[in-house]
Amino acid sequence: MVKKQIDIRALDAEELQQKLLEMGEKKFRANQVYDWLWKKHISSFDEMLNVPKSLRERLSEAFSLSKVQIEDVQVSNDGTRKYAFKLAGGQQVEGVLIPTPSRVTACISSQAGCSLDCTFCATGLLDLKHNLYAYEIYDQVAILRAEAEKHYELPLSNIVYMGMGEPLLNYRNVMRSVEMVTSPEGLGMSPKRITVSTSGVAKMIRRLADDGARFEFALSLHAANDETRSRIMPINDSNNLETLKEALRYFYEKTNTRVTLEYCIFKDVNDSLQAAKELADFSRTIPTKVNIIEYNPFPESGFVNTTRKRMDAFIEYLEKEKVIVNVRRSRGRDIDGGCGQLALRHTK
Ligand code: SAH
Ligand code: SF4
């Protein structure tokens, strides 16, 4: 049987150094190897030119070295590009590039599949297959950054952890990937250009606060009464609105950062003026802004977009209540742009 090797990039700088010391090597070698992996982005051990051949061979026996690969690309008529990425373990995840005239946002995945079963989400219909390693998350950013420059001639301006999976249930790898994207040795991006979105794992929101998160943080609320929210997001049974409010207060106390509430608006589910009132009340828990998201429907979901008229009335109510509201029109509809939709189609 072939022994399953770990990928050398699954080790952080300290672990790599430890491993090389165990192999009888000196500290400077560990630094050289680290630079090849993280600054020069090589894809095979043979490319480590200043590392002796014998060590390159021993490394390739001890570790694998893989990169996330682009498997498929679809281009929407609104310019959105959707990527199917293949991981070394064979799993598929999705990433999206969303251009506007002045900026490009990359949407990336943190898990292959998701364990949380939100009823309106295509990823929720897939089982959780794999928690992405930090380097697999980082690779998506590095690939999409190069693609943004190639296709739009714009630098990548923002990153949102809003692809497949629940970032806070793959906490360590997500935090490490943010570190790599923001560190000067990595891509040197500002944490303020990164948004991590959660369906509401209260315990991990507190952990984020304790760890002094400096990136933007979004909570997928979608309903501000427990009955409706539990119906569409089963996680609400164990993390209800009161628990989330407490976690948000804790988060704000520690970070002093405004939180974004995401609210995807579904016809006859959460689009009434009563629902708008509940949302306005919830939004006053701490300083927040609300993103109203247009639903990206898919046949298996059973949910549909609300009407323009009801959406306008909903937004007007929030504005009257002095809630800060942005509207996010859905992009890439013609290419299954919504999270998990492409993978769902491939699975079927
Ligand atoms: N698991 C995290 C992050 C990934 S989902 C979370 O739930 O926040 C990112 C966002 O996309 C969430 O707000 C989610 O509710 C929303 N979403 C999922 N499916 C969608 C769809 N078909 N159309 C529009 N938004 C969707
Ligand atoms: Fe998972 Fe987020 Fe989709 Fe819910 S909305 S199933 S938490 S990816």
Q: Which of 197, 263, 292, 329 to mutate to test the pocket of ligand 1 (most atoms within 8 A of CB)?
A: 197
Q: What pLDDT score does 339 carry? A: 56
Q: What pLDDT score does 2 carry? A: 47
Q: Is 94 among the catalytic positions?
A: yes
- What spacing in Å lies between the alpha carbon of 5 and ligand 1's midpoint? 34
Which ligand lies nearest to the CA atom of residue 296 in the structure? 1
Among 192, 129, 208, smallest CA distance to 160 is for 192
**63-64 vs 111-112, strand pairing mode:** unpaired
Q: What pLDDT score does 338 carry? A: 62
Ligand 2 atom with minimal separation from the 114 CA: 1
Which ligand lies nearest to the CA atom of residue 170 in the structure? 1
Q: What pLDDT score does 336 carry? A: 66
Q: Does residue 336 have its Cβ closer than 6 Å to ligand 1?
A: no
- pLDDT tens across the length of the chain (348 residues): 445 588 999 998 899 999 999 999 999 999 999 999 988 888 899 999 999 999 999 999 999 999 999 999 999 988 999 999 999 999 999 999 999 988 999 999 999 999 999 999 999 889 999 999 999 999 999 999 999 999 999 999 999 999 999 999 999 999 999 999 998 877 899 999 999 999 999 999 999 999 999 999 999 999 999 999 999 999 999 999 999 999 999 999 999 999 999 999 999 999 999 999 999 999 999 999 999 998 888 888 889 999 999 999 999 999 999 999 999 877 777 776 665 555 555 554
Q: Does residue 121 have its Cβ closer than 6 Å to ligand 2?
A: yes
- What spacing in Å lies between the alpha carbon of 62 and ligand 1's midpoint? 39
Q: Does residue 235 have its Cβ closer than 6 Å to ligand 1?
A: no
- What spacing in Å lies between the alpha carbon of 109 and ligand 1's midpoint? 11
Q: What pLDDT score does 348 carry? A: 46
Q: Does residue 123 have its Cβ closer than 6 Å to ligand 2?
A: yes
Among 136, 177, 173, 141, smallest CA distance to 156 is for 141
Q: Which of 93, 109, 110, 116 to mutate to test the pocket of ligand 2 (most atoms within 8 A of CB)?
A: 116
CATH assignment, 69-347 = 3.20.20.70
Please give the CATH architecture assigned to the domain spanning 8-62.
Orthogonal Bundle (1.10)
Total length of the chain: 348
- What spacing in Å lies between the alpha carbon of 164 and ligand 1's midpoint? 8
- Distant-in-sequence, close-in-space partners of 4: CB < 8 Å, separation ≥ 6: none
- What spacing in Å lies between the alpha carbon of 334 and ligand 2's midpoint? 21
Domain ranges (residues) in the chain? 8-62, 69-347
Q: Is 57 among the catalytic positions?
A: no
How far apart are alpha carbons 230 and 221 in whole angstroms? 11
Q: What pLDDT score does 307 carry? A: 92
